[in-house]
Structure 1
Amino acid sequence: MIAERALKTLEYYKIREEVAKYCTSSVGKSHIDKLVPSVDYAEVTKLLEEMDEGLTILRLRGNVPMGGITDIRPHAKRAQIGGMLSPVELMETASTIRASKILRQFLENVAEAEDVGIPHFLEKKEAMPILTALEHEINNCIDENGTVLDSASSTLRSIRQQLRIQVSRVREKLESYTRGANASKMLSDSIVTIRNDRYVIPVKSEYRSHYGGIIHDQSSSGQTLFIEPSAVVQLNNDIRGLKVKEHEEIERILIKLTAEVEIVGHEIFLLVDILGEIDVILAKAKYGQVEKCTMPHMNNEGYIRLVKARHPLISIDTAVANTIEFGKDITSIVITGPNTGGKTVTLKTVGLCTLMGQSGIPIPALDGSELSLFESVFADIGDEQSIEQSLSTFSSHMVNIVDILKKYDNQSLILFDELGAGTDPQEGAALAISILDAVHGTGARVMATTHYPELKAYGYNRPGVANASVEFDIETLSPTYKLLIGVPGRSNAFEISERLGLPSSIIAQAQSFTGTDRGEVNSMIASLEESRRQAEKDAEETEYQLEGARLVKEELEQKLAQLDQKKDQFEQKAKEKAKKIVDDARREADGIISELRKMQANTHLLVKEHELIDAKKRLDEALPNNPVLKKQKKLNELAKELKAGDEVKVISFGQKGTLLQKLSKSEWSVQIGMLKMKLDEADLEYIKPEKQKQTVSVNSVRGRDSHVKLELDLRGERYEDAIIRTEKYLDDAILSNYPRVSIIHGKGTGVLRQAIQQFLKNHSRVKNYRFGEAGEGGHGVTVVELK
């Protein structure tokens, strides 16, 4: 438990008030009022994790629906002890239950829609009691203004209907008086009003006997009397009776609803507590957003590292941020320097940040800050003079220090401000050194400020102790409030006096009184300060260079990633293009092979099956930029220049052919059996002709006439010429081993067609003939099958 004195001295309660401003409900504020730093490591870790989840939700959604929440615990307590809740109290109960339902749905949506973990919020959501049935029952009876509805019961509806009828009758009767012939004369105003819950009219005092009835009130001047005429007395009595019944029915309804609240009283207490806890967590997170705070990492090893920490109660615009680190090798820091330099602010910054971290409140420092959990925090800061006890400043400080020395242990953080001040300088310095010796080395973490020069050497004589000072700008004669760890503060009295115009002779005489040792110490400190400033300058330059190198590295990595991406894209496009080329070639080759198989079926010996399989294999290997083709083209160039009539081997089909004519620089027209194809020169292999005997044979004739077309066009020929040409064509086709040819005679009058077919009918080598199919020319073509 952190001491109350330290909480007040370090102004912890002011921080709590600042956080409370961001609560959205009285429940949250009541929880904040009870917030104190925890000394349990697991609890502190949980508090900080909850706050960090709150920051995440606010960052993703901007806000959290927390409206409509009221502290309804007193209502539940009154219901439990037998009291009757008012309509407003019941309405607040229903509103709070509805708010919890909306919050549950919101947290579920965040968990499902966002890729973040909020386990602590979801745990609280699951712990919320579901009281929707009570909410609906209250809403069916009471509206949002706290009025009991007619629909609350059939009896109440009936009573109010009768009441409206009676009121209408009374008003109608009284309005007849206001519209009468004597109304303007006898009445002060032509209106119907209410006095003592009864409907009356304003009558001038001199005409009161004209209406009779009961006088309920009069004006301040006495000139107007508010009279209930005799004619409406009974009607008003009836209204009064109905109102009594209405009140009784409303009371019965409220008692019934209060009993429902009593049944779930325990759940209401739990629900309000959870809503209050969530409100506090979100208030901490909102405070952190506004004040630019961060979540510190916690340890229980006494290590403190505050990166660019500010005092939380000083405006962001004016506060000077300092980096403070100690607790490992260095367990004590002694800060020296002039007054109003920021020494006390530094102490309070460390103490307040520690208390805030142990309360689950984000601290005003940059990311990467780390705090330790301390079981006790002690602070002797400020002027604690007690007039009642007739104690001096020194005595008051000493009373507090004595109390600290009795209670501290190795899990304590101790903050001494102006240690040993208020008494003789020599004795005060001696006491300060002695007190520091007493607490240093026991495991406690200590920060102390002093203006005694004797303590400047304290950090050099004891291990684990570091000197520090607050910087003072001689040029402006003002402190910069920057903390310099490792450099003791030095006196600037001579420099300040000189700049303010004190004669040099006086300053020189004063310096002669200080002694050589003091001057050497000040020179050493000045040298340390200069070295520190140079080191900071070098560090900033290095930081700048590192930042530049980091940016260049990131830019290069980004460009490299883009190049890799483009390379992948180009490779993918190239693969797709190559695949398309290969697929097209394979489809074309499959078509050719299919046609060759058909020819084989008709000619038996023209193409063999193993040659087809070999051709298919070669086609599969015929990829773009095939090295075999490149090699073959080079061989062709080395062998001889191809020319028409050369016999070649078509590599992709594995078939032999004859070159007909060169179509372009790299393409030839090639005759393969009865097929004429256009092929790339790289796909052709020159075949050296074998020496043959000069004999006349059918094959030689076939070779000579091997270029016979597969069709004969006779359109426009005379009868005799057509028969002669047909006879010669069939002889050539038979010598070329053509199984089937086509004769084009056209449709015309049909005379040429009949003559040709009559000739074919009598030809000994014609096996069969037929008209062409739709795709072959129809009746304008005769397809002839040869034997």
Structure 2
Amino acid sequence: MNQKVYHTLEYYKILERLADYASCEEAKDRCHKLVPLTDPAEIAHLQETTADALSRLYRGSGISFSGVHNVNASLKRLDIGGTLNTTELLMICSLLEVAKRVKAYDRSDRNDEKTDSLSPLFSQIQPLSPLLDEIRRCVVGEDEIADDASAALSKIRKSIRGMNDRIHAQLTGLMNNTTTRSYLQDAVITMRDGRYCLPVRAESKTSVPGMVHDQSSSGSTLFIEPMAVVNLNNELKELFLKEQEEIDRILADLSNRVAENANGIRQDYTVLAELDFIFAKAELAKSYNGVAPVFNEEGRINIRKGRHPLLDPKKVVPIDVRLGADFRQLIVTGPNTGGKTVSLKTVGLLTLMGQSGLHIPAGDRSELAIFHEIFADIGDEQSIEQSLSTFSSHMTNIVRILQKADDQSLCLFDELCAGTDPTEGAALAISILNKLHQYGAVTMATTHYSELKVYALSTEGVENACCEFDVDTLSPTYRLLIGIPGKSNAFAISSKLGLAENIIEDAKGRLSERDVNFEDMLANLEQSRITIEKEQLEIQKYKAEIEDLKKKLTAKNERLDNSRDEILRKANEEAVQILKEAKDLADETIRNFNKYGQGQAPMSKMEKERSRVRDKMSASEKALSMKKKETVNHKVPKKLRIGDSVRVLSMNLKGTVHTLPNAKGDLYVQMGILRSLVNIKDLVLIDEDASPAAKKYGGTSSGKIKMSKAASISTEINLIGMTVDEAIAHLDKYLDDAYVAHLPSVRIVHGKGTGALRNAVQAHLKNQRYVKSYRMGEPSEGGAGVTIAAFDV
């Protein structure tokens, strides 16, 4: 693939961002050298590893590869019998620590024992813990070996400390001597050439017998090793030599142990560098919420909600682009700064990223084609050095593209054949596009030429598109609309900016009738599109409402079925209890009859028992007759109002009238969470003797709620100081209470601030069915810091 397109589409900036997420130099180098591939299997493998790494990042915490060093040079030196120094050993130690950490990360991330494409890489890592622990124990820093690295080293250093103490004691005694002190420049112990000395005045050098090792820059001070410590210094020197010999022996031993594990260390470095590179791709994808695209080899591009990865994610507008299926050429028109070039670059850059194994910032199920070549002629390519104008430089590039393009190429042109005579430029552009169409290349081009719009309308396999522009606000929406040619909107923009109407009318008069008719047709298409989009949004809204109502109805039916089952269960339990009581009474009566029939009890007791049984049966019959009377002879309500409290006799439940009776007398009654269709004959009106205040609000339980609300609810709510979520929650409850209380309107205080809270409040009011209207407060009411909402009462 040609290298020029990487710079044109700013692919290298993506690689720079990718390298920032890598830790080791090997991985960073791989990031900088990453290029698009054309083998579907290789691309699929790269995308799979990126996706699996991203899944691991989303499942748990991130993974750090900091500390991975290239130790191959040190291992090669070991191969020829060399010895490693402390710095090299610490680099190997750092590598093994990362290997141990990454291995532990893999174990903790695979609690469910599932494997992915990265599992083979993780399984190849060898932490080599014994070697790691030994290096840690022996090597403290780049210039320091631990005392307990060996018993001999520990003994030698103990002797060195003892010898230092003896020398210091000897020299301190000399300094404390009054005579010797008078010969010293300073009462300090210093060291020269690894031997302890005293600073003696030059004129007193004969007074302090010993060896002169150095003198000050002025010559006034000589550094003399007193004879009393010469032998001690010699012994100390010997101890230092022994210490170095032991250190060399320890380093040689550690080097031998590293050499024994050289293959494992090389493998660790290779695997860790590979994982570092893969997780860098995953981190990059996570930064812009990227997804793995679906690839094909038929030239189809279907990017859903695609975003340019180098633009601010908070400001970039997602675009939908289709190309290569029903049509292989897309001609994008519209005003300047409308997003045409960004759309062009987004398609090209996302294709390069996808073929490089990188996730793309787009929606799920976005589809990309695998192209063997991507060509782009974008931007000002004027060259002063080569004496080429803008048109000439672009044409040079286009000639090169036409020589190499084929049916496996993606060609991107920004303002094709601009910079020359419009008539000739348009004709030339059509010829170039027609030639690429014959080649079968997938092509996307932006233009201002109306002739190219006609070419797209009249040529099979070529489609128009435009970048939407809001003439009222003189600002682009950056939405890419496929199937609709764009207008330049030059007259509308000029008029909005204050250009005199007579000039605009004169300009319109200079257009040919054909041009006027074509622009009018585009305007009609645009208006039709806007109308269709609005109707589609309304249809989607209605569909959502119907689906919501369907779900609510299903849920209510389920609750009703559950309630019916509960009622039947209780009825069966009561029936079982009644039968049990009847059986107990019958058993007792039979026992008494047998007992009294044998003459074992006086007649008075028999009569008393008979009276008790008769009384119990009479009480049961009385209760049954009262229920029957209530059921059969109850007063049927003649006038029901919504909100009246009633009792549903067949269910023995209290409820509230939800709808008025139809011609058959059927109506809906709300019983707690149940809403059931019943007949008016099955109802008894209750709470009819309500107070005058209650009658004012409907004489029902809901009316009582309204009356209490009306007495306590405020006509104003203050939301200042709350977050948007807190404010909307408080506002929603307050609006319900105010509506139930029959308040005609309320005052919502949200303050001015940034306007975010005001916008959220008004958006919420807009979606409330019982809010009839809302408006900004008058200056006397609080101005922009207040919203007045009126209810539909």
| TM-score higher than 0.5 | yes
Deviation digits for residues 158-198 of structure 1 (CA, Å, limit 9, x no counterpart): 43333333333222322333433357644444332333333
Structure 1 match to 2:32: 33
**2:178 partner SS:** coil
Structure 1: distance between partners of 2:566 and 2:247:
78
**2:118 partner SS:** helix
Structure 2 match to 1:435: 432
Within a 5 Å distance, the mapping from 1:470-619 to structure 2 comes to 470-554=467-551
Check conservation: 1:27, 1:272, Cα contact below 8 A. Answer: no
Structure 2 match to 1:167: 164
Q: Structure 2: which amino acid aligns with 1:173? A: Q
Whether 1:291 and 2:288 are equivalent positions in the alignment is yes
Structure 1 match to 2:14: 15
Give the counterpart of 1:450 among 447, 452, 455.
447
Q: Structure 1: which amino acid aligns with 2:255? A: T
Structure 2: distance between partners of 1:49 and 1:204:
79
Determine which structure has more spread, i.e. the larger CA radius of gyration.
Answer: 1
**1:62 partner SS:** coil
Check conservation: 1:28, 1:280, Cα contact below 8 A. Answer: yes
Structure 2 match to 1:242: 239
Structure 2: distance between partners of 1:262 and 1:70:
17
Structure 2 match to 1:463: 460
Structure 1: distance between partners of 2:284 and 2:323:
27
**1:252 partner SS:** helix
Structure 2: distance between partners of 1:189 and 1:544:
94
Check conservation: 1:77, 1:265, Cα contact below 8 A. Answer: no
**1:32 partner SS:** helix
Structure 2 match to 1:313: 310
Within a 5 Å distance, the mapping from 1:77-92 to structure 2 comes to 77-92=76-91
- CA shift, 1:455, in A, is 0.9
Deviation digits for residues 92-139 of structure 1 (CA, Å, limit 9, x no counterpart): 21221232123222212221258xx44122221112245334323433
Q: Structure 1: which amino acid aligns with 2:347? A: V
Structure 1 match to 2:782: none
Give the counterpart of 2:383 among 382, 386, 395.
386
- CA shift, 1:218, in A, is 4.5
Structure 2: distance between partners of 1:145 and 1:257:
14
Check conservation: 2:68, 2:273, Cα contact below 8 A. Answer: no
Q: Structure 1: which amino acid aligns with 2:29? A: S
Q: Structure 2: which amino acid aligns with 1:466? A: E
Q: Structure 1: which amino acid aligns with 2:28? A: K
Structure 1 match to 2:125: 128
- CA shift, 1:485, in A, is 1.7
Q: Structure 1: which amino acid aligns with 2:200? A: V
- CA shift, 1:361, in A, is 2.2
Q: TM-score, normalised by structure 1?
A: 0.69
Structure 2 match to 1:191: 188
Structure 2: distance between partners of 1:342 and 1:524:
23
- CA shift, 1:319, in A, is 1.6
Distance change (3 Å), C-alpha of 1:143 and 1:434: same
- CA shift, 1:568, in A, is 8.4
Check conservation: 1:22, 1:287, Cα contact below 8 A. Answer: yes
**1:119 partner SS:** coil
Once structures 1 and 2 are overlaid, which stretch shifts more, 439-448 or 524-533?
439-448
Structure 2, gaps ≥5 residues long: 596-605, 618-793
Within a 5 Å distance, the mapping from 1:558-707 to structure 2 comes to 624=576, 661=610, 664=613
Deviation digits for residues 269-299 of structure 1 (CA, Å, limit 9, x no counterpart): 3322221222222222222333233333333
Structure 2: distance between partners of 1:204 and 1:399:
85
Once structures 1 and 2 are overlaid, which stretch shifts more, 27-36 or 101-110?
27-36
Once structures 1 and 2 are overlaid, which stretch shifts more, 529-538 or 224-233?
224-233
Q: Structure 2: which amino acid aligns with 1:489? A: G
Q: TM-score, normalised by structure 2?
A: 0.68
Deviation digits for residues 47-77 of structure 1 (CA, Å, limit 9, x no counterpart): 2222222222222222225444333333323
Check conservation: 2:197, 2:224, Cα contact below 8 A. Answer: yes
**2:144 partner SS:** coil
Deviation digits for residues 144-164 of structure 1 (CA, Å, limit 9, x no counterpart): 666323333344334333333
Check conservation: 2:405, 2:439, Cα contact below 8 A. Answer: no
Within a 5 Å distance, the mapping from 1:317-396 to structure 2 comes to 317-396=314-393
- CA shift, 1:433, in A, is 1.2
Structure 2 match to 1:98: 97
**1:16 partner SS:** helix
Distance change (3 Å), C-alpha of 1:570 and 1:519: same
Structure 2: distance between partners of 1:530 and 1:257:
80
Structure 2: distance between partners of 1:666 and 1:397:
113
Structure 2: distance between partners of 1:518 and 1:410:
35
- CA shift, 1:661, in A, is 4.7
Q: Structure 1: which amino acid aligns with 2:30? A: H
State the identity as a percent: 41
**1:112 partner SS:** coil
Check conservation: 1:341, 1:481, Cα contact below 8 A. Answer: yes
Structure 2: distance between partners of 1:373 and 1:627:
81
Q: Structure 2: which amino acid aligns with 1:379? A: A
Distance change (3 Å), C-alpha of 1:552 and 1:25: farther
- CA shift, 1:646, in A, is 9.8
Structure 1: distance between partners of 2:118 and 2:615:
77
Once structures 1 and 2 are overlaid, which stretch shifts more, 397-406 or 519-528?
397-406
Structure 2: distance between partners of 1:265 and 1:520:
80
- CA shift, 1:229, in A, is 2.7
Structure 2: distance between partners of 1:32 and 1:548:
49
Structure 2: distance between partners of 1:270 and 1:476:
62
Q: Structure 2: which amino acid aligns with 1:92? A: M
**1:440 partner SS:** helix
Structure 2: distance between partners of 1:88 and 1:420:
61
